[in-house]
Structure 1
């Protein structure tokens, strides 16, 4: 039995046990709702206080009308398995259901998410960028060591515990699956998606691979460095992406696309590894750790 098969078997046992022991109860009998932290098509995230222990936590509510129980159990159990890492949101052994929702509890992030910190067209200070890069690289490396792929790395899913990003945590494992799981095209224009995913036809599938996370990581690092995305979609019809792809194929620093000229040669080398067009040659997320001691953005000359 392969490592992936073993891990899948363990996860299935956890899901079965959780399903067997999960209680039905009225949320407001046990929790005082403080405020809403977020909402989406899945449901809501609420900041709540347990009435007996006084402990504050985030409750993730997933609508039964749009969420299969198996999907809820998978997200909860994967989150629980990964939450031992410092830079992954901690999930508590609290899962229950109401008439309308499946619910599980996680630690509450006190300082919002990375999206809320970003100033459009400006980006973040380089020390903060590198703190984010280091912590995310280590979190992704841990996830990949478990034969899992996050699949939804984006600004909104990076939670902050201080505004200087000394502690950040990766969250939302609703799309996380084991390597080689076959995925279908995702709808909409997705600036974090890799070219091999963007080029999928409706009936095609792609085996899940950590290189998808590495690509999204590269896009996220560009975004927090500049305050914008390098392109809308990684397809040839997108002019900005095609300029980048052409530059990549030349394998040198001549004719660098204008939006990439703010970066040093060392940073460009890092981006070229994370954003290699061929997924088989793409560098892992942990590659970023080699570049933390070199400058990423060129110094701006001030004329006096």
Structure 2
């Protein structure tokens, strides 16, 4: 519920890589073709990368300095090259929980995204050891975004929230331009480049998929789950994914940056009173219906979040809409909550 600090796992399961017919789940022929081209390009890159893997034990090539991160499927370590002394980040995935194909997929998605300033730069070095697969990226040394989100306060400086949001929006736009959907936006996957949290980079592309890939929800929804994934899907195999899933997740993350809390536990009106209150506020547009978790947000934040958190995916604002609200206050000064101008109907 709101009041818990942001933390969440991943709740979607892949049902198939094949696209849908035109119009299925709102997918147009052009969108379907973009996703198929991205899938084919990744398959080609994976085939080439499989032939160029370095076969060696990691500690023969690199000296471990310290851990940088730990996830469900692997560890990220700060290492130095034993001969050159170069500092690098190494993501290590155990073979017992990672297939060669799964490793190659994540490795190649990172490579395919190039050198966007808000995406962790992947280097073209994949390593197969006796018990693990590894790949190298640039090191980002200030941890992830979760440690900068403070309950009731948000980030230390309100301007930092805007800096983070616009960089993440740009990164997601870049991913979408490659025919891909990120699908795993959360503070734990946003790495921080400086102590003031003014520069961030998106990492971890294991859940990224081509547009149109069919997905279905397994298990309970989490706050970042878009409501269309909670509804009955057009096919038993799942919903063809769209960039609008990332827009919803970005809206939830921006809310967390500004307040320190999730806006709701799950986007199901019948199961979550906080989400039900949000829908009622959207329907009325009246100040007296503003839910308590939204107190303190300024009109620009209301408008931005109403767009990103539209329950209808085709009406939802794209991630790039963040830019239109930069330079405006997103929070009122402490104690000022009256006289708020409501977001549009």
| TM-score computed with the length of structure 2 as normaliser | 0.83
Task: Report the equivalent of 1:232.
Answer: 265
Task: Report the equivalent of 2:180.
Answer: 148
Aligned-CA RMSD value: 1.9
Is residue 293 from structure 1 mapped to residue 324 from structure 2 by the alignment? no
Instruction: Render the CA deviation track for 1:10-55: whole Å, top value 9, x for unaligned.
Output: 2111100000121321111111011122223212111111101211
In structure 2, C-alpha distance between the alignment counterparts of 1:177 and 1:187, rounded to whole Å: 20
Instruction: Render the CA deviation track for 1:267-296: whole Å, top value 9, x for unaligned.
Output: 211111000001111000100110002111
Indicate the larger mover: 216-225 or 52-61. 52-61
Give the CA deviation at 1:121.
Answer: 2.5
User: Is the contact between residue 48 and residue 56 of structure 1 (CA under 8 Å) also seen in structure 2?
Assistant: yes
Instruction: Render the CA deviation track for 1:114-145: whole Å, top value 9, x for unaligned.
Output: 11112222211211111101111111111111
| TM-score computed with the length of structure 1 as normaliser | 0.94
User: Is the contact between residue 215 and residue 241 of structure 2 (CA under 8 Å) also seen in structure 1?
Assistant: yes
Give the CA deviation at 1:8.
Answer: 2.1
> Residue 58 of structure 1: which of 54, 75, 89 is its match?
89
Give the CA deviation at 1:6.
Answer: 2.6
User: Is the contact between residue 185 and residue 197 of structure 1 (CA under 8 Å) also seen in structure 2?
Assistant: yes
In structure 2, C-alpha distance between the alignment counterparts of 1:200 and 1:186, rounded to whole Å: 12
Is residue 198 from structure 1 mapped to residue 193 from structure 2 by the alignment? no
Counterparts of residues 227-266 of structure 1 (less than 5 Å): 227-236=260-269, 237-251=271-285, 253-266=287-300
Q: How many residues align?
A: 302
User: Is the contact between residue 38 and residue 180 of structure 2 (CA under 8 Å) also seen in structure 1?
Assistant: no
Residue 281 of structure 1 aligns to a residue whose secondary structure is coil
User: Is the contact between residue 149 and residue 213 of structure 1 (CA under 8 Å) also seen in structure 2?
Assistant: yes
Counterparts of residues 156-235 of structure 1 (less than 5 Å): 156-199=188-231, 205-235=238-268
Task: Report the equivalent of 1:131.
Answer: 163
Give the CA deviation at 1:186.
Answer: 3.9
Are the structure 2 counterparts of residues 187 and 57 from structure 1 closer, same or farther at C-alpha, using a change threshold of 3 Å?
Answer: farther
Residue 184 of structure 1 aligns to a residue whose secondary structure is strand
Higher relative contact order (CA 8 A, sep 6+): 2
Structure 2: runs of 5+ lacking an equivalent: 1-29, 337-345
Indicate the larger mover: 158-167 or 244-253. 244-253
User: Is the contact between residue 187 and residue 253 of structure 2 (CA under 8 Å) also seen in structure 1?
Assistant: yes
Task: Report the equivalent of 2:16.
Answer: none
Instruction: Render the CA deviation track for 1:146-189: whole Å, top value 9, x for unaligned.
Output: 11110000001110110222321011100001110011214345
Task: Report the equivalent of 1:37.
Answer: 68
Indicate the larger mover: 92-101 or 249-258. 249-258
Counterparts of residues 76-95 of structure 1 (less than 5 Å): 76-95=107-126
Instruction: Render the CA deviation track for 1:72-127: whole Å, top value 9, x for unaligned.
Output: 11111110111310000010111011111111011111111111112222211211
In structure 2, C-alpha distance between the alignment counterparts of 1:24 and 1:17, rounded to whole Å: 15
